């Protein structure tokens, strides 16, 4: 039923060797955004604590990052911690705040080798000092890399982002440096945390959930969505390939008619 509702094709999973050459070079999504969901359920199914699922999910991030870089994706944005996630149990939040340090320390040499640049969006100021330090160190170390941008959404909420953008714009209007006539869709985009990035071409959400959860609401206006029942720790290169295959089969019209080539 899930597959029928969302037009999802089912492909046989391939090994890493079989995957080689299967992704078409044309129409590779420039920017893929992923809502990484299902870590807790993955752990519960195995009678493990939730933090074990988050740890396993970290390994999935490494696999997906490598493969995205390999096939030519320019930006990979991962929804790592939302502004609402602070409501979770204290022990779980503390573990989640420790993951950037663990992940970046172990993965940084490979990120450098793969020419991957680390960035983040979200309110970094309220993150624990050790989390900020890990993110800052990785961003500084990789700032001159020119390959894939690995963009973490940490303490990020789209409504918060839009409110911040509106406040900045209103302050500039009051100061006389911005006029009402200059406020356009393009200008609003310039005030968002993603102003320096292309808007996502493809959004992936794992674990069977089919909502956006306050993620990039402005930026996803014309993004292609792909939902999978696969829990994030079980997501792998073949799953990403499947999502890209489906994306490549779609006709992005941006409000126009099929075959016109414009939106």
Is 216 within a domain? yes
Which run of H or E residues covers position 155? strand 149-156
Q: Domain of residue 241: give its range.
A: 27-156+199-249
Instruction: Give residue 25's pLDDT.
Output: 62
Please determine, for residue 22, whether its predicted confidence score (pLDDT) is greater than 60.
Answer: no
Q: Which residue has the higher pLDDT, 182 or 261?
A: 182
- The DSSP result for 194-212, as a single string, is TTTSPPPSEEEE-TT----
d(C-alpha 247, C-alpha 231), whole Å: 20
145 is in an annotated binding site: no
Please determine, for residue 15, whether its predicted confidence score (pLDDT) is greater than 90.
Answer: no
Q: Positive or negative CA dihedral for 97, 102, 108, 111?
A: negative
Instruction: Give residue 77's pLDDT.
Output: 98
The pLDDT confidence band at residue 258, using thresholds 50, 70 and 90, is low
158 is in an annotated binding site: no
Q: State how many domains the chain has.
A: 1
Q: Which tokens go with 52?
A: 């074990």
Please determine, for residue 17, whether its predicted confidence score (pLDDT) is greater than 80.
Answer: no
Is 70 within a domain? yes
Q: Which tokens go with 253?
A: 């019209």
Is 190 within a domain? no
Instruction: Give residue 122's pLDDT.
Output: 98
CATH number at residue 55: 3.40.1180.10
pLDDT tens digits for range 49-66: 999 999 999 999 999 999
Of the residues 37, 151, 155, 201, only one is catalytic, namely 37
211 is in an annotated binding site: yes
d(C-alpha 237, C-alpha 13), whole Å: 9
CB 149 within 8 A of CB 76: yes
Buried b (16+ CB within 10 A) or exposed e, 139-151: eebbeebeebbbb
pLDDT tens digits for range 128-137: 999 999 999 9
88 is in an annotated binding site: yes
Q: Which tokens go with 185?
A: 């869709």
Q: What is the mean pLDDT of residues 209-224?
A: 98
Residue indicated by tokens 């990979």: 76
Is 13 within a domain? no
Task: Report the length, in residues, of the chain.
Answer: 263
φ/ψ of 217, rounded to 5, equals -60, -40
Is 170 within a domain? no
250 is in an annotated binding site: no
The pLDDT confidence band at residue 238, using thresholds 50, 70 and 90, is very high
Please determine, for residue 257, whether its predicted confidence score (pLDDT) is greater than 90.
Answer: no
Is 168 within a domain? no
37: annotated active-site residue: yes
245: annotated active-site residue: no
Instruction: Give residue 179's pLDDT.
Output: 97
The pLDDT confidence band at residue 26, using thresholds 50, 70 and 90, is low
Please determine, for residue 6, whether its predicted confidence score (pLDDT) is greater than 60.
Answer: no
Cα pseudo-dihedral 136, 66, 3, 215, rounded to 10: 10
pLDDT tens digits for range 86-120: 999 999 999 999 999 999 999 999 999 999 999 99
With 0.75 as the threshold, say if the pTM is over it: yes
Is 174 within a domain? no
The pLDDT confidence band at residue 197, using thresholds 50, 70 and 90, is very high
Is 135 within a domain? yes
Please determine, for residue 237, whether its predicted confidence score (pLDDT) is greater than 80.
Answer: yes
Of the residues 3, 25, 59, 85, only one is catalytic, namely 85
Write down the H helix ranges in the chain: 2-6, 16-19, 39-45, 50-71, 90-113, 129-142, 158-175, 185-190, 237-249
Mean pLDDT of the chain: 90
């Amino acid at each position: 039923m899930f597959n029928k509702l969302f037009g999802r094709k089912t492909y046989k999973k391939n090994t890493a060797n079989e995957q080689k050459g299967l992704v078409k070079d044309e129409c590779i999504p420039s920017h893929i955004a992923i809502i990484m969901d299902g870590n807790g359920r993955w752990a519960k199914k195995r009678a493990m604590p939730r933090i074990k699922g988050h740890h396993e999910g970290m390994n999935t991030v490494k696999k997906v990052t490598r493969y995205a870089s390999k096939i030519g994706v320019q930006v990979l944005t991962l929804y790592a911690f939302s502004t609402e996630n602070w409501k979770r149990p204290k022990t779980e939040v503390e573990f989640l705040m420790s993951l950037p340090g663990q992940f970046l320390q172990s993965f940084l040499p490979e990120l450098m080798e793969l020419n991957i640049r680390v960035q983040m969006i979200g309110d970094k100021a309220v993150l624990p000092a050790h989390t900020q330090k890990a993110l800052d160190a990785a961003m500084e170390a990789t700032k001159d890399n020119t390959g894939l941008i690995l963009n973490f959404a940490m303490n990020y909420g789209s409504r918060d982002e839009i409110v911040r953008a509106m406040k900045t714009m209103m302050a500039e209007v009051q100061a006389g440096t911005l006029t009402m006539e200059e406020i356009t869709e393009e200008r609003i985009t310039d005030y968002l945390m993603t102003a320096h990035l292309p808007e996502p071409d493809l959004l992936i959400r794992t674990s069977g959930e089919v909502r956006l959860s306050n993620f990039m609401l402005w930026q996803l206006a014309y993004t292609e969505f792909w939902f999978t029942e696969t829990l994030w720790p079980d997501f792998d290169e073949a799953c990403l390939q499947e999502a890209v295959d489906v994306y490549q089969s779609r006709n992005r019209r941006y409000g126009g008619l099929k075959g016109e080539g414009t939106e």
